[in-house]
A and B are shown apart, each in its own frame.
Chain A
Amino acid sequence: MQVSSKEKFWLTAPITFFLLVMLGFPLLLDLIYSVSEVTFENLLSPRLQGFENYLKTLQDPTYWDALAFSLKFGLTASLVQLILALFLAIYLEPLLARHPWLMAVLMAPMMVAPALIGLMYRLILHEFVGVIPYYLWEWVGDSPAFLGTENAFLTLVTIEILQWTPFALLIIYTAYRAIPTHLREAARMDGANSAQLLLLVELPNMMPVILLTFFIRFIDSFRVFDNIYVLVGSGAGGTSTSLSIYIYKAFFRGGNIGQAVAASVLLFLAALLLIALLERFSRRMETT
């Protein structure tokens, strides 16, 4: 006897119902509000008005700035994290293999809330009580405005990289350790040197994981909110407004519900596109 279809239904009904209520219905609301004229007063009876919210959003230069910021932030952060993680995973492998607890030391920042990390840097970068400006004055005799318009991007992306490289490192290190030993032995037997072994055997073997790590890190950095919000609030003159912050600001500060919701739907479409690409890519990975 198998699981009956009635049982199949009842065992999957809770999660399905939950997803419909908590994500399906909100998405529907997003779609309706995005084509309506809506304020906090007429939330329950939004007036349909066509695509005006989308037009307003797309004509808003700060929307494009936020999109550009998020893309640049996501790409820079994920690429640097990936390169650092690859180097550390491969270079430190003999050490980490002998003393596995060292990995726990490197992993610690992953367990800390990005919002708290952001708060810590508010202290560390503070011009009077911060430890970094203190030593810069001591040693160099000058300290930049880390969160000023000019340096905000570099500061924020560095903070993101330092917190999340451990995540990439952990995944890549696990994959590196999982390369079958017979592959390495066969390559050695054929006279491959270390560089050839790395480029022709190890890296190709890890490629699916490397790309997966890149995607995860890109997505997470692209939607950055917490650390930027606590560090610079709504941004040093808009230069550090990510898409997430843009949506939050439009809704809570501007009361601009229509535009905030239109931006949400656009973000949803972009995310769908990315997911479709990911699916296609992972299917190709499976077949090859």
Chain B
Amino acid sequence: MSMFLRWLVFGLAALLFNFPLISTLLTSLKSEGEIVSNPSILIQSPTFANYVKIFEMADRFDILHFLWNSLVISALGAFFALLLAFPAAYVIVRTGFGRNWLLPFVLNLRALPLIIFAIPLYMMFQAVGLLDTLFGLALIMCIINLPLTLALLSSTLRNIPEELDDAARVDGASTLSIILRIILPLSVAAIASSSVLGFVYAWNEFLFGLMLTTKSATPITVGASFFFSASGGGVKWGVASAVIILSLLPPLVVGLLFYRSIGRSLTGGAVKG
């Protein structure tokens, strides 16, 4: 009986939390005519027409272009953060160098609203020609991802016994080869979690995508909103819903595949589970 109540509460919570997703998915499977005549959650005649229509609009809003931009920006953003954080995490953990300034500074970035830097970054990007480029946005994503990546990597490296380093040193290995041959293979799990989370964060970013792009580097979160602009005879709700579903799938799939590791990762290892 008490388990039944728990199932009930779970079902209610799951429904409430996921309601926008479910409802949008259902709308995307209705014809434009049915959306207007029947806004309920039941579908009279399901159709994939909206998903086909998205691609017929490619001359105005090219969804594949937006998706490609987001893919590149997110992958590069996660990769850059790893590239910068990994050597730093090694030095911080093994020598204590930077433990009192670099580590806290980066971790506290999580608490800083990045809009503070948005205006000067806009001006800098304009000055050096990074506005509306994938590389420029990937740099921003790298800032966003650094706190979590560094936190995850340093808490992982802390658990790799230093004896391994020492043994390799006795055999004449350099610091660089220790990092690449010993530490890197042992931190694959942390690298995977931070890549996944970094990818999801970057994919879902909106503010900088909105401010720093105009056309060629527009990410999908911004591109999806174009389909909701009423220009040219009102919003096509069916197409707009289908666009949303396609836009949210990549991070949702990646995130759910790795959902077990995300709980621990979110707090950067502060909560052990």
B188 at the interface (CB under 8 A from A): no
Residues of B within 8 A of A244 (CB): 113, 115, 207
A48 at the interface (CB under 8 A from B): no
A130 at the interface (CB under 8 A from B): yes
Q: Check B20 against A124 for contact (C-beta < 8 Å).
A: yes
Q: Check A8 against B244 for contact (C-beta < 8 Å).
A: no
Contact with B along A1-42 (1 / 0, CB 8 A): 111100110011011101100110111011001000000000
With A12-B88, A95-B6 known as contacts, the answer to whether A162 contacts B267 (CB < 8 A) is no
Residues of B within 8 A of A33 (CB): 119-120
Residues of B within 8 A of A19 (CB): 105-106
CA–CA, A274 and B98, complex, Å? 22
Query: Which residue on chain B has the smallest CB distance to residue A172?
Result: B271
Query: Which residue on chain B has the smallest CB distance to residue A2?
Result: B95
Q: Check A165 against B241 for contact (C-beta < 8 Å).
A: no
CA–CA, A121 and B241, complex, Å? 11
Residues of A within 8 A of B155 (CB): none
Q: Check B13 against A88 for contact (C-beta < 8 Å).
A: yes
B91 at the interface (CB under 8 A from A): yes
In this complex, how many residues of chain A approach chain B with their Cβ under 8 Å: the count is: 100
Which residues 139-168 of B sit at the A interface, judged by CB distance below 8 A?
139-140, 142-143, 146
With A91-B9, A92-B10 known as contacts, the answer to whether A14 contacts B87 (CB < 8 A) is yes
CA–CA, A154 and B221, complex, Å? 24
Contact with A along B171-196 (1 / 0, CB 8 A): 00001000000000000000000000
Q: Check B85 against A115 for contact (C-beta < 8 Å).
A: no
Q: Check A12 against B87 for contact (C-beta < 8 Å).
A: yes
With A14-B87, A92-B6, A248-B115 known as contacts, the answer to whether A115 contacts B39 (CB < 8 A) is no
Q: Check B9 against A107 for contact (C-beta < 8 Å).
A: no
Q: Check B263 against A247 for contact (C-beta < 8 Å).
A: no
Query: Which residue on chain A has the smallest CB distance to residue B126?
Result: A43
Which residues 110-150 of A sit at the B interface, judged by CB distance below 8 A?
110-117, 119-124, 126, 128-131, 133-135
With A94-B6, A131-B39 known as contacts, the answer to whether A114 contacts B21 (CB < 8 A) is no
In this complex, how many residues of chain B approach chain A with their Cβ under 8 Å: the count is: 95
With A29-B124, A178-B273 known as contacts, the answer to whether A12 contacts B91 (CB < 8 A) is yes
Identify which of B88, B206, B237, B241 contacts A225 (C-beta below 8 A): B206
Which residues 150-204 of A sit at the B interface, judged by CB distance below 8 A?
162-163, 165-167, 170-171, 173-175, 177-178
Q: Check B204 against A212 for contact (C-beta < 8 Å).
A: no
A55 at the interface (CB under 8 A from B): no
Report the minimum CB–CB distance from A10 to chain B (whole Å).
8
Interchain residue pairs with CB less than 8 A apart (15): A12-B102, A14-B83, A22-B117, A22-B143, A94-B3, A94-B6, A106-B10, A107-B255, A119-B225, A123-B27, A129-B35, A171-B267, A225-B207, A247-B115, A268-B116
Task: Mark B residues whose CB is within 8 Å of A.
Answer: 3, 6-7, 9-10, 13-14, 16-21, 23-24, 27, 35-36, 39-41, 83-85, 87-88, 90-92, 94-95, 97-98, 102, 104-106, 108-113, 115-124, 139-140, 142-143, 146, 169, 175, 200, 203-207, 210-211, 221-222, 224-225, 228, 237, 240-241, 244, 247-248, 251-252, 254-256, 259-260, 262-264, 266-267, 270-273
- Known A107-B256, A119-B224, A268-B112; further 18 A-B contacts with Cβ < 8 A: A8-B91, A105-B14, A113-B203, A113-B205, A113-B251, A116-B204, A123-B237, A128-B36, A129-B36, A129-B237, A166-B17, A212-B271, A219-B113, A230-B225, A247-B118, A247-B119, A248-B207, A251-B122
